[in-house]
Amino acid sequence: MNFLLLASSNPFDLKAALLAGHAQHPVIVHFPIALFIASVVFDILAIWRKEPILAAVGYFNLVGAAITVPLAIATGLGAWQWQLEGATLKGNLRLHLICALTSAALIITLCWKRSRIRAKGESPGASYFVVMALGLMMIALTGHLGGILSGVETP
């Protein structure tokens, strides 16, 4: 009997935590960010150490980032709809969305390009790394704006 009382007085509601309309985006968004950054790190290490296996690890991290990007976008759009009831996008929220879609496009483009390069057995050229650096900057800006929107960072 005491066990039932303890269970019912638990302030943590798992169902509410998992099904909250905006809760998934802050969790999911870290996957494409981390996988893309890991991809960059492994690609740089592959060049520096002259180890092809590190380039392969970089490639598969990039594929993982590209696969998880649609989930991050979907949960972000869902959070906008549920939390803000689809309010007009303006200010940092609009800029966050633009940067997020740009970051997503860069990740998917890099993945497509890298797949083609890999199929030919070649190494990425300088232009690939320029776009990769642009992707890193866009992800950093997107994350910064997301931090401001979530209240983690103050403007």
Q: Is residue 82 in some structural domain?
A: yes
Q: What is the pLDDT of residues 111-135, one digit of tens each?
A: 999 999 999 999 899 999 999 999 9
Burial of residue 13 (CB within 10 Å: 0-12, 13-18, 19+) is: exposed
Q: Is residue 10 in some structural domain?
A: no
Mean pLDDT of the 43-59 span: 96
Cβ neighbors of 23 (< 8 A, separation 6 or more) are 17
Question: Domain span at residue 107?
Answer: 21-150
- Is residue 75 scored above 70 in pLDDT? yes
Task: Note the pLDDT of residue 155.
Answer: 59
Q: Which residue has the higher pLDDT, 97 or 11?
A: 97
Tell me the whole-structure pTM to 2 decimals.
0.82
114, 40 contact by CB (below 8 A) = no
Q: State how many domains the chain has.
A: 1
From residue 99, give the alpha-carbon distance in Å to each of 107, 132, 136, 139. 12, 15, 11, 8
Cβ neighbors of 97 (< 8 A, separation 6 or more) are 76, 80, 89
